[in-house]
Amino acid sequence: MSEDVYKRLAAHLDDLPGGFPPTETGVELRILRRLFTPKEAEMALHLALIPEEAKVIAHRARRSVEETTSLLDEMFQKGLISKLKKKEGPSVYMALQYVIGIWEYHVNAVDKGLAKDMEEYIPYLLDFDVWKKTPQLRTIPVGQSIDHQLEIMPYEEAEELVKNQSKCLVAPCICRQEQSLLGKGCDRPEESCLVFGRGAMIYEDRGIGRVIDNAEALEILRKADEAGLVLQPSNSKDIVNICCCCGCCCGILRTLKAHPKPSAIVSSPFVCSAEEEKCIGCGVCVHRCPMDALELQSDKVVLNTDRCIGCGLCVSTCLGDALSLKRKPESEQKKVPETFRSAMINLAQERGKLKPSSAAKMVLRSKRDRLRTRNQSYKQK
């Protein structure tokens, strides 16, 4: 019975935008058994990507409101679901996709067993056919690499994105934690993941990370460039996070690196340009590039644009000014959604998981259950 609930939960998570694909080894079920008790897995099946009060979920799960509320709060603290506090009235709860979601919410809570299972599962999580159309993250250049004569949009510049945030939080990088547990970590700063707005409030409520001001967030971006970290915000103009990622630990960058043409997969408006005659042959750029897009031949830099993701890490430390960023042709740029919610809807539709009919059914089911719980409240009065 408990094994069946994990299979149903795996299918439920796979219906969410980020996906949770099945594997031949069943590693995805091992991960769920590590994270969810059977009781929690059963409750998670009754949550959707629509914020709902505990009494609505309790009605659907056929449990008491008190028991449901207690269990949902425990699951939120464990990083299994999302909870949003209202200024007035009770909190609402939502399903949480596995990546980006449940996995990232387990920062500071990963053990070696979970790290090993995740390492096995990472290659299955990034579907290149889907990612190149609707990625969850995009790549923007580090500030020192930008020539301000370039046409650049506010949502393409990390410093501008941070300056517009009303609440900032920095959390440890779960990828570097995972790799450290496996004996493969690096010496880059662990406290480097920036979270904003409502996402920052959720992290704060769970005691993850620390709230910082905008000035410290900008300093973290400066140190990210110094440490050779790729900036990956959420794939939206109104961002919820900026991940500062290293090519050796980040699951996304490691998977992209295995592709012969990362440039075609990643969402980035820029690509590197090289002037070999200016190159002094120092080789710094070769070591900084997370995609092996650069190499030295006869002490001159050679660029493979098929591998360039436009992060700008090579440009910001080029001593001979041989490297620069240029904007990709319009036809090669991916459209950036206005909001993270829009990006998730696009991703679900691209995966065939949110057809108009199924989306309508989800909304109608939620409205139906809310009306039924409201009617029950009236009868009790």
Map out the domains of the chain as residue ranges. 2-102+353-380, 122-270
Joined tokens for residue 253: 């960058």
Asked if residue 264 lies in contact with residue 306, where contact means CB atoms within 8 angstroms, the answer is yes
**Average pLDDT for residues 365-373, to the nearest whole number?**
56
Where residue 381 falls among pLDDT bands split at 50, 70, 90?
very low
pLDDT in tens, 226-282: 999 999 999 999 999 999 999 999 999 999 999 999 999 999 999 999 999 999 999
pLDDT of 373 reads 55
Mean confidence (pLDDT) of the chain: 90
pLDDT over 90, % of the chain: 79
Helix or strand holding residue 196 (H, E): strand 191-196
pLDDT of 151 reads 72
User: Is residue 375 pLDDT above 70, yes or no?
Assistant: no
φ, ψ of residue 100 in degrees (nearest 5)? -85, 125
User: Is residue 95 pLDDT above 90, yes or no?
Assistant: yes
pLDDT of 359 reads 44
For residue 278, give the 3-state DSSP assignment: helix
Asked if residue 312 lies in contact with residue 142, where contact means CB atoms within 8 angstroms, the answer is yes
Joined tokens for residue 238: 């109104």
pLDDT in tens, 2-16: 679 999 999 999 999
pLDDT of 376 reads 53
Where residue 378 falls among pLDDT bands split at 50, 70, 90?
very low
Where residue 288 falls among pLDDT bands split at 50, 70, 90?
very high
Please state whether beta strands 210-212 and 191-196 pair in parallel, antiparallel, or not at all (unpaired).
unpaired
Joined tokens for residue 189: 């700063």
pLDDT of 22 reads 96
**Average pLDDT for residues 353-375, to the nearest whole number?**
54
Tell me which of 351 and 375 has the higher pLDDT: 351
Joined tokens for residue 114: 């979970």
CATH code, 2-102+353-380: 1.10.10.10
pLDDT in tens, 37-79: 999 999 999 999 899 999 999 999 999 999 999 999 999 999 9
Question: Which residues make Cβ contacts (< 8 Å) with residue 58, sequence separation at least 6?
Answer: 64, 65, 67, 68, 69, 373
pTM over cut 0.85: yes
DSSP state, residue 27: H
**Average pLDDT for residues 351-365, to the nearest whole number?**
58
Q: How many CB atoms lie within 10 A of CB 34?
A: 14
